[in-house]
Amino acid sequence: MAPGGEQDMLSTEIVNKGVIESSGPNAGSLTFSVRVRRRLPDFVQSVNLKYVKLGYHYLINHGIYIATVPVLLVLVFGAEVGSLSSSREEIWSKFWNSTSAAHARYDLATVLAFFGVLVSKEQFLEAARKSGKFDEANLQFQKRILQASGIGDETYIPKAIMAGENCSTMKEGRAEASMVMFGALDELFEKTKIRPKDVGVLVVNCSIFNPTPSLSAMIINHYKMRGNILSFNLGGMGCSAGIIALDLARDMLQANPNNYAVVVSTEMVGYNWYKGKERSMLIPNCFFRMGGSALLLSNRRRDSRRAKYRLEHIVRTHKGADDRCFRFKGIRVSKDLMEVGGDALKTNITTLGPLVLPFSEQLQFFSTLVWRHLFGGSGGGSNSSTTATATANANKPYIPDYKLAFEHFCVHAASKAVLDELQRNLEFSDKNMEASRMTLYRFGNTSSSSIWYELAYLESKESVKKGDRVWQLAFGSGFKCNSAVWRSIRTVRKPSTNNPWL
């Protein structure tokens, strides 16, 4: 048995139930096996008072400034497979030989149809088998992961992977990056009617693939952006880097009034492909898929009339000072992920609470938290069962209802197991988790861009009304957990055909 509180972090499941031993000392006996797994900690039972105080400090010092930044958010990503009117060679020639953005306007649907391929779980496993890189035990391991992943049979991976080619090269990485980023940006500029030269701030995030010249430099060169553009390229920051990039863009806009900022979030799947035998490295192969997003932000007063959302809060939590959290390096998944992620999430949402929760919820939460902090779990030594029950109820922490603070939730679609644990701990309904689960099923884990697929899903359902609040929650290596809070400026009508869900 696990000592102390560690036992509470384990879940059990009966497997091989009803097996009758045919030999050995237990011959003729009915036996079963118990599988023990580590789950997300029940972090609401151990909320730290200092993070609540941090939230109030954040509110006092930054709330006014954040509330005054108007944001024009454009979700761009096409995932419907379009037919190609030209041959592969013709499109490739046009794409690479173009001298301006107007010469290479292919939406992201065409891009993925050209460079990526829709793959089912069976096709994925067959390609892994044909590669000759995995033994039977590792193939079966990947099969089990895929079956429990929550991913459907229409996700995208680079064609080079299915063809058995070596895709972990700088050339293939640049090709995939160019296709995904330029496809998304072409849609962005066409939809918003903003010229690339009008953009004053450019932030690109991609964790693993970081070439020289950088991805941001590739964009500047392709679109011939202006020479004094403020350009940033974020690498190695995990699946939550999209919100980090958003935070940086917001800061740059605050320092540079009357300007536009573009944020591009993506990950290069092919460049990260692992063909070894270490199982913690094989898991990301099963989850991660091609994807990307581009969004436009503005602090120009006149853009407030056509903007979709206003950015209200960003709360960032970094646990890198903890050696246990810092061990999450590269693209790997460890058995400690749930525990480490739960600790980062607990800190983040506790800090966020004072910024977004209604006063009644804050008062209830804060009073019970202070009571537990001052008086602990002491029951006063009473032998009365009634008194003991009352004391237990008094010491039980109040769980804030974040559904009172937000109408919509975009939780990073990491895996089914992670979404299940988050739903249980935050007491979300199936409706609250619908955008995240549907994104995971249709597109897989697209890393930092997944929260934008989820918002696109809500828009495609015409769910976002004027005044609605949206919570985007992402987490990743480091270990980091970040939140972004948006308020809808207007009711979002059914989007154009380049929405990935249409």
pLDDT confidence band for 92 (50 / 70 / 90): very low
- Residue 339's pLDDT is what? 76
Q: Which two tokens stand for residue 340?
A: 């480490």
* Range with the poorest average pLDDT among 22-31, 262-271, 380-389, 462-471: 380-389
Q: What is the pLDDT of residues 305-354, one digit of tens each?
A: 899 999 999 999 998 888 877 875 555 555 666 777 888 888 899 899 89
Selecting among 167, 206, 272, 408, the annotated active-site residue is 408
Q: Within 10 A of 462 (CB to CB), how many other CB atoms are there?
A: 12
pLDDT of residue 499: 81
Mean pLDDT over 416-437 rounds to: 93
pLDDT digits (tens, 9 = 90+) for 55-87: 666 565 555 444 443 333 333 333 333 333 333
Percent above pLDDT 70 for the chain: 70
Where do the H-state alpha helices sit in 132-169? 136-147, 159-162
Minimum mean pLDDT among 215-229, 366-380, 395-409: which range?
Answer: 366-380
- Closest C-alpha to 306, from 74, 475, 121: 74
Amino acid at the residue 202: L
Q: How far apart are CA 137 and CA 72, in angstroms?
A: 49
DSSP result, 27-72: TT-EEEEEEEEE----GGGG--HHHHHHHHHHHHHHHHHHHT-EE-
CA dihedral 448, 454, 456, 460 (to 10 degrees): 160
Total count of residues recorded for the chain = 502
More confident site: 403 or 15 = 403
SS3 content of the chain, % helix, strand, coil (to 5): 45, 15, 35
Catalytic residue, chosen from 205, 286, 348, 412, is: 412
What is the amino acid identity at position 223? Y
- Reported as type and span, the H/E element at residue 311 is strand 309-318
pLDDT at residue number 133: 86
Q: Which of 312, 318, 319 has its CA nearest to residue 355?
A: 312
DSSP label at residue 382: -
Q: How far does Cα 168 stand from its chain's mean position?
A: 23
What's the confidence (pLDDT) of residue 268? 92
Answer whether residue 388 shows pLDDT above 50.
Answer: no
Confidence (pLDDT) at 329: 54
pLDDT greater at residue 2 or residue 242:
242
Instruction: Assign 278 to helix, strand or coil.
Output: coil
User: Strand, helix or coil at 292?
Assistant: strand
Q: Which of 445, 482, 498, 499 is labelled catalytic?
A: 445
User: Among 167, 206, 239, 325, which one carries the catalytic annotation?
Assistant: 239
Tell me what pLDDT residue 460 has: 92
What average pLDDT score do residues 432-438 get? 97
Q: How confident is the model at residue 25 (pLDDT cuts 50, 70, 90)?
A: low
**Is the pLDDT confidence value at 228 over 80?**
yes
Do residues 436 and 412 lie in contact, with contact meaning Cβ atoms separated by under 8 Å? yes
End-to-end CA, the chain = 50
Instruction: Please indicate whether residue 61 is annotated as part of the active site.
Output: no
In this structure, how many other beta carbons lie within 10 angstroms of the beta carbon of residue 123? 14
Average pLDDT estimate for 138-142: 93
Distance CA 264, CA 413 (A): 18
Of 152-156, 224-228, 242-246, 268-272, the one with minimum mean pLDDT is 268-272
Choose the catalytic residue: 206, 318, 348, 410.
318
Mean pLDDT computed over 358-370:
82
- Residue whose C-alpha is closest to residue 146's, from 356, 311, 288: 288
- Model confidence at 104: pLDDT above 50: no
Task: Give the per-residue pLDDT at 9.
Answer: 52
Residue 4: how many other CB atoms lie within 10 Å: 6
Are 474 and 240 in contact by the 8 Å Cβ rule? The answer is yes
Distance CA 202, CA 37 (A): 43
**Average pLDDT value for the chain:** 79
pLDDT of residue 252: 98
At 423 the three-state DSSP class reads: helix
Residue 373 annotated in active site: no
Q: How far apart are CA 293 and CA 265, in angstroms?
A: 5
Specify the 3-state DSSP secondary structure of 71.
Answer: strand
DSSP letter, residue 377:
T
Q: Catalytic: 408?
A: yes
Runs of H (alpha helix) within 359-415: 359-375, 385-395
**pLDDT digit string, tens, across residues 444-463:** 999 999 999 999 999 999 99
pLDDT at 108: 56
Strands 469-476 and 408-411, how do they pair? parallel
The phi and psi torsions of 49 (rounded to 5 degrees) equal -60, -35
**Which of 271, 247, 275 is closest to 261 using CA atoms?**
247
**What residues are paired with 293 via a beta bridge?**
265
| Lowest pLDDT segment from 153-157, 245-249, 354-358, 385-389 | 385-389
171 vs 180: CA distance, rounded Å: 14
Residue 203: both structure tokens together:
């932030």
**Mean pLDDT confidence for 162-183:** 87
Task: Give the pLDDT band of residue 169 (cuts 50, 70, 90).
Answer: confident
Q: Do 43 and 9 touch, CB atoms closer than 8 A?
A: no
Mean of pLDDT values over 126-151: 91
